[in-house]
Amino acid sequence: MVADTLRGRFITLEGGEGVGKSTLQMALATRLRDMGIEVVTTREPGGTPLAERIRELALRPPEDDAWTPMAEALLMNAARSDHLDKLIRPALAKGQWVISDRFSDSTRVYQSVKGGVSQEILLQIEASVIAETRPDLTLVLDAPKAATDARRTGRGAATDAFESRPDAFHEAVRSAFQALAQTDPGRCHLIDAGETAEQVAEAAWREIEPLLSAQRASAP
């Protein structure tokens, strides 16, 4: 295991579709880089060439077919295993900071909201795949669906099999993320994503600052 003094920090951004994760990721990476910190930005599912291929398979099944819930949970975790081994762990070991747009909490939330696989099984798979590589900090972006709807429309991105689901699904996802943040308050912090992008970035930065001082304090 890499000594903590040498290890970079691992931050994950979570929340529903269009809530502002990628926007926040860019803002945080810029601010950290301005301080001279090396930052790797990545996303899930994806982040490595093979995991990006799994992303395509998982998010865009043929219109007349769908993954079983278990197959979907395993696909997300197969992609994550590759991502951890080839990108996240090597970067952290080099002292780089990693900011990932989604990580294992998305599987806990989406694959359990969609049903078909118990939370217990999901947690067992998660433990095997991520092992000791748990995020130092998870920012859960939270906003009412009406706000993110307007953003999704504004973005004009192609919808995928997940985004085209009904409102009740998105509300269930939001509630599940809120519950998750409550159960792990040491790692997860809920951020009001209904504010302006600048305000969201400021609120996120306040959660990141303790990680900076921890790094300074542990530097030789």
Ligand X SMILES: Nc1ncnc2c1ncn2[C@@H]1O[C@H](COP(=O)(O)OP(=O)(O)O)[C@@H](O)[C@H]1O
Ligand Y SMILES: Cc1cn([C@H]2C[C@H](O)[C@@H](COP(=O)(O)OP(=O)(O)O)O2)c(=O)[nH]c1=O
Residues lying near ligand X in the complex (CB under 6 A): 17-23, 101, 151, 154-155, 196-197, 200
Structure tokens belonging to residue 21: 């994760």
In this chain, which of 28, 110, 112, 139 binds ligand Y, going by CB under 6 A? 110
Nearer to ligand Y, 181 or 215 (CB): 181
| Number of residues this chain uses to bind ligand Y (CB under 6 A) | 15
Q: Is residue 39 within 8 Å of residue 29, measured between CB atoms?
A: yes
Please report how close the Cβ of residue 150 comes to ligand X at its closest, in angstroms: 8
Please report how close the Cβ of residue 149 comes to ligand X at its closest, in angstroms: 10
Nearer to ligand Y, 2 or 157 (CB): 157
94 in a known ligand binding site: no
**Residue among 197, 191, 180 at smallest CA distance from 141:** 191
Site map 18..37 versus ligand Y, x via CB under 6 A: x--x----------------
Q: Is residue 54 within 8 Å of residue 79, measured between CB atoms?
A: yes
Residues 133-172 binding ligand Y (CB under 6 A) are 162-163
Nearer to ligand Y, 61 or 95 (CB): 61
Residues 6+ apart with CB under 8 A from 39: 28, 29, 32, 33, 96, 97, 98, 99
20 in a known ligand binding site: yes
Q: What residues pair up with 40 in beta bridges, in sequence order?
A: 98
Strands (E) across 64-108 are located at 97-101
